[in-house]
Structure 1
Amino acid sequence: MHKDNLLEFFEEVTSQLTLAPNEVRRLFHGRGKRWPGLEQLTCDWVNNQLLVNVFKEVDESFINALTDGLEQIVNSELWQAKAGQCVAIQHRYLDGAPMSVVWGELDTRPVVMESGCKYQLDIGRNQNFGLFLDMRLGRDWVKANAEGKRVLNLFAYTCGFSVAAMEGGATQVVNVDMARSSLNKGRENHRANGHDLSNVTFLGYDIFKSWGKIKKCGPYELVIIDPPSFQKGSFALTKDYKKILRRLPELMTESGEVIACVNSPVVTPDFLIDGMKEEAPGLQFVERLDNPPEFADIDPDASLKVLLFRTTN
């Protein structure tokens, strides 16, 4: 990346900040490759804070130009109108992904709003702050379609889908993730929304070693699969995803739906469509859900893929 390209970054951030609702939102998505020379740069609006992520090492002149431009935003009438509180840069290319505060005081534990749901974030301790913003429309779909359903949320992370499902009237959600710390944050998210936790189950299990326990909590009208592309020692996309798909028929009701997600640029939607035909032919592909417009990508097949499948009668 080169500092000469930053003018486009500041113009887009300013434009999107002007339009941003009073919710958490991605303002600039360089990783969609729509801005040549800025592919390793993103910017999010998080409770009146601008959080800039730099994913690749850059020289000091780039950081200085980035900092100067952000300070100009802070001194603008727009920043005052938006009641901006902090600007920070996270250096994702460094060990521990440290953050440097450009202006203000960073709120590391904000509770943000998205589509009427509250989420407790944790900024600065990890590379990700606890909510994947590109999945917003997927959570919206679950919220709109979960009423009266028992939902299984595999690779639950901090239980964003679970919160959306309960807000949408699900009768029960079962969250499975081997990271108990993430599930504990999921509990915080549910508490923030005033949910009855007796209707939410948290299973800190290795999915591949726990099918019996997962099945016992079912059967499910809706199954959500949102794994990492790779997690050392526990999940490899091309090897392990099919192991999940082949289990679906025994987990689901006769009339059920599956939201299957994959966020790797190395596979296309056909990876899931063909995999489902092979491993669970009773589930038919219905549609690919849209990604939020702020995550537009020059190659849609390289971006997040959220696919809906439904049992055939």
Structure 2
Amino acid sequence: MSALPPRLVDLLRASRARRGPLLADSATSAFRLLNGAADGVPDVTADLFGDVVVVSLYRDLTDAEEVTLLDAAVAAWTPRSVYLKRRPREARVLANVAKDALAPESAARGEPVEDFVAKENGLSFHIHPGQGLSVGLYLDMRDTRAWLQAQASGLTVLNLFAYTCAFGVAATAGGAKRVLNMDASRRVLEWGEENARLNGQAVDRYDYVAGDVFDWLGRLAKKGESFDVVVADPPSFSTTKTTRFSAARDYARLAEAAAKVVAPRGRLVACCNLAGLPSRRFEAMVLEGVTRAGRNGKTVGSLGPSGLDFPTPPGEEPALKVHVVQLR
């Protein structure tokens, strides 16, 4: 097990300085402040939401190391609050550890903050820093959401695995004709409705559908419904009452189901955040699924996290891969 690097406060200050353009951007207050080994601190990330920092640990630190890291974060960044998330790499570990041990509800440093609003590209989102491992916004998707907002005018958009509906908010802000948000959890969809209202967007409950995505894709296909853009951003691993999904094993199946509801000349935005899955292999899985659906498709663009706040070590690919496939 590697120890925390020396001169930690200096490393954290340098990491913040490299985000200078984002710090100066009044339209965005949410971005990654520290990205692991690429910023000199392996197995540790830190996300900034306004003046609140969320630190994530991807290995077990000793109590003394945690104290050192948190004290260094306060010294380097002077945040209002720091929240801590412990993220074991294996999903089976998560099921056997108390939630509060992984994601304490209380702030590790600074004052408690239950709910506040962060900005991304001029849009506003509710953030709950003490509410589990996910606080409301996945920051590596910022550039992809900006792309969708720029493309969405007059289009119909299906947002699969919508979580708090940030893609839906971006598409609506870009002038989409209709956005259908779909997720297994009603609770996060209600959070998404709050985000829409926060941005002055009308909310129709029929456009926030809770249920198994595969089940609903089958229903939509049977009805002959189609969308100009389908965004598929699943978790790497998930389980519902009827479906188990692993991106490494099942993405072609997801692409097949999604392709059946993409309109002619429409686009499938296929996203995967599984580290270790090469981008070319992921693209091949997506195109395999499209072919299985009886559609012809070609990749017309690749997106991903901003290199400004999600740098990667030399020779490595970003964990997040996004391929835009146009279907005929």
Query: So what's the TM-score if we normalise by structure 1?
Result: 0.87
Give the CA deviation at 1:68: 3.2
Match of 1:231 among 238, 241, 246: 238
SS in 1 for 2:195: helix
Give the CA deviation at 1:102: 5.1
Match of 1:301 among 295, 310, 317: 317
- Are residues 1:85 and 2:85 paired? no
Distance 1:308 1:18, change over 3 A: closer
- Are residues 1:159 and 2:160 paired? no
Q: In structure 2, list runs of 5 or more residues that go unmatched.
A: 89-96
SS in 1 for 2:146: helix
Distance 1:273 1:53, change over 3 A: closer
Partners in 2 of 1:15 and 1:276 — Cα distance? 38
Distance 1:132 1:211, change over 3 A: same
Match of 1:275 among 280, 285, 293: 285
Question: Residue 304 of structure 2 contacts residue 320 of structure 2 at CA under 8 Å; is this kept in 1?
Answer: no
Aligned residues: 301
Match of 2:33 in 1: 27
Partners in 2 of 1:188 and 1:275 — Cα distance? 35
Q: How does 1:51-62 map to 2 (within 5 A)?
A: 51-62=54-65
Once the two structures are overlaid, the 10-residue window that deviates more, 288-297 or 88-97, is 88-97
- Equivalent position amino acid for 2:245 in 1: F
- Are residues 1:173 and 2:179 paired? yes
- Equivalent position amino acid for 1:243 in 2: R
Once the two structures are overlaid, the 10-residue window that deviates more, 204-213 or 147-156, is 204-213
Distance 1:200 1:229, change over 3 A: same
Match of 2:92 in 1: none
Partners in 2 of 1:217 and 1:201 — Cα distance? 17
SS in 2 for 1:3: coil
Partners in 1 of 2:233 and 2:30 — Cα distance? 21
Match of 2:3 in 1: 2
Question: Residue 114 of structure 2 contacts residue 130 of structure 2 at CA under 8 Å; is this kept in 1?
Answer: yes
Partners in 1 of 2:286 and 2:84 — Cα distance? 41
Question: Residue 70 of structure 2 contacts residue 109 of structure 2 at CA under 8 Å; is this kept in 1?
Answer: no
Q: How does 1:246-265 map to 2 (within 5 A)?
A: 246-265=256-275
Query: So what's the TM-score if we normalise by structure 2?
Result: 0.83
Give the fraction of aligned pairs with identical amino acids, expressed as a percent: 27
SS in 1 for 2:38: coil
Question: Residue 264 of structure 1 contacts residue 302 of structure 1 at CA under 8 Å; is this kept in 2?
Answer: no
Partners in 2 of 1:182 and 1:273 — Cα distance? 29
- Equivalent position amino acid for 2:13 in 1: E
- Are residues 1:106 and 2:103 paired? no
- Are residues 1:285 and 2:299 paired? yes
Query: How big is each residue's C-alpha offset from its partner over 1:85-122, in whole Å with a ceiling of 9 and x where there is no partner?
Result: 22343344563222663543132211111001111111
- Equivalent position amino acid for 2:120 in 1: E
Query: How big is each residue's C-alpha offset from its partner over 1:156-176, in whole Å with a ceiling of 9 and x where there is no partner?
Result: 111111111000000111111
Partners in 2 of 1:176 and 1:192 — Cα distance? 19
